[in-house]
Structure 1
Amino acid sequence: MNDPQPNWIARRSAATTDMYDRAVQAGLTGHTITRRSGKTVRLDDGHECVEFVSCSYLGLEDHPRLTQAVRTALDTYGTHFSSSRNSVQPAEAHTLEELLGEIYPGMSALVFNSVSSVHLGVLPLLGAGVLPGYPIGPGGVLFVIERTAHASMQALRGVLEQAGPAVRFRAEEPATLTAAMDLAREQGRTPVILVDGIGSMGGLVDVRSLADTAAELGGYVYIDDAHGISISGPAGAGYAFEALGGHVPRSVLLVGSLSKAFGGSGGFLLTHDPADVTLLRREANPMVFGHSNMVTHMLVNAESARMHLDGTVTELQEALWANTELFDKVNSGNQLVNAGTRSPVRGLAMDTEEAAFDGAVRLRRAGILCFPVFYPVVAQGTGLLRFALSSRHTPEQIQAVADVLADR
């Protein structure tokens, strides 16, 4: 029997056009690369292009210290040790978590194989009220999800609702958050606000005010700062940590990525109470039933953490922000998403999907790859050209983008 009111996944699928398929067929996205050197990649058709797609904002992946870490891992462990994380792990996993504790003083870190695994492992247990450092009141939990929070959190709504109701709000419309907090107050529930730090498509979230709002009701703000880690702050602690005043308040659970600017792979959670880490190791779904982090990446992550602490990333941060400033300057005639902000992501918003498609075609013909974005990533009927900037881009490569975009 057909459901007269399709669920949100069905509605989203029904509203999605064939623009992504067209973009793949036109060679605008869905690329296959055979080699890379700096920000230049060779495609499987033999063409070489400059890419503004990778989220390697500091360009660490081919740093000699990290490539040597891979060689050491291969010699020490082979390619992989297949087991659940709570069964067997390399010694470097402990080293990495200790180093993260130095980057974020006073915090206990737990590493997962991805940020999505952090969400899957942590949020159900948080909602159930079993994490010692983050108690949930007797009225239960209310999950309050920001509309643009990453899809890896949005997709868990059905799972989260086993612990308590989930509602959404818009960061740009404060009244929607106020309504959610009023609902939590009326029902005696503990609010847990789910947000990104830096949006993957644009925007910086005011995480400090959200932490204050959650704390007023004895609740928490859960921050996915995947795109903010490493790019700023002392020792590369990231956007959210810096915006929070250089510490993690008791009302905050901070999640970071090791797979973007950090130069390795995986995700991590920071908590105030080591007892939370003990419980998560024992009960978090990905820890019990998921595979462990690749040993090569564990050694890479640990070496990258040392590079954060010894000041190596500071120079790379300076180069990144010089490049974002240049990108904004040479594209000043365009209405850029995130222009002038401390985000490594820039976007050119388009009124229609066809306009975004045509822009990506012009860039591709000039040997430049960006990420053409359509619904459901952006609003229905619109498009976006997304540019991920890196410390490794050259001034000439950045100017080339501006030259193409100016010829409209």
Structure 2
Amino acid sequence: MLAGKRILLIIGGGIAAYKSLELIRLFAKAGAKVVPVLTKAGAEFVTPLSVSALAGTKVYTDLFDLTDEAEMGHIQLSRAADLVVVAPATADLMGKMATGRADDLASTLLLATDKRVMIAPAMNVRMWLHPATQRNLATLQGDGILTVGPNDGDMACGEFGPGRMAEPAQILAAATAALTSGPLFGKHVLVTSGPTHEPIDPVRYIANRSSGAQGAALAAALRDLGARVSFVTGPASVPPPAGVDVIRVETARQMLAAVLAALPADAAVMAAAVADWRVANEAGQKMKKDGSGRAPGLEFAENPDILATVSHSPDRPRLVVGFAAETETVVQHATAKRARKGCDWIVANDVSPGTGIMGGDENAVTLISEAGAEDWPRMSKDEVARRLAGRIAEALQ
């Protein structure tokens, strides 16, 4: 699976460092050679001896090792790897990466490498949700850093929430996807997914029933064909797949900004169920009943048209794929939408309540292109994703 691949594994200082030992074992079992770098803080949680025994090679710890640095060892280490994995990636390491600091071996390697970097963040939930960490995350993702996790769960500190490092098997899967050649290897594909939430007040919002399942399946299928996937997702109930660059948004306007920031791309697959309207007179405080029996008056404004904007962008991808969720005259509406938006393909489906498609596990779509309408049989959303990803790969050859 990873035979002959060389993984530079940087182990940061956190309780999750113990998982790095299992990760080394999984990488080795998959055929990869692991070159471990243990930070000073990481050595407080796992020993150099245990890391070295599992990796079967020397553990690197010191930027100023005279033997290694006589030959500029930090440069050689950073360039010889096929992939650099940081697990656990602490808040401190992420901050160093985002600001370009290089004051120890790990941070110097990360600044000097010309290879892809994947981080597996791990920290207290409050640290993860802190605006500074989220700013650093956005910077790293904008720089093309891959992320896997963090997961929700119990913390060693007794709190619960996002911040648990992804399990070693998840990191292995993400690393495998990043290193696997395929028909889309070297291609960048932008995928949008999920609903958007348009606030009415700080408590309430307008949304739809999209689970984000089809978008997540598409991101995974494109990843499996070797693409670098930028996954812009609204607040979906289905989690994003590992091995893709995840950009989380809430509103349609935030989604548009994230999409434009992710361009240029070779293809854009706009699977998100974006709200057409937002509340123009959004309240700054929670709206209260006043006893009059009258509902508050909501004024609506049209949201930006993300698909049309991408289709007519100066950075327009070679292939732009839109989605049309309809409840009647599906093909006619979708065909008109393709012409109106200026995209290349439209994937149309009937989301009437009786179909069970919106929020369900299956889909039945019609692919509409310049050549006409092609009906696909009802199948799982994963199979729809694999079939569509294959078509995209053919189109980009």
Task: Choose between structure 1 and 2 for higher RCO, CA contacts under 8 A separated by at least 6 residues.
Answer: 1
TM > 0.5: no
Larger Rg: 2
**TM-score, length-scaled by structure 1:** 0.26
More helix by share: 1
Normalised TM-score (structure 2): 0.27
| More strand by percentage | 2
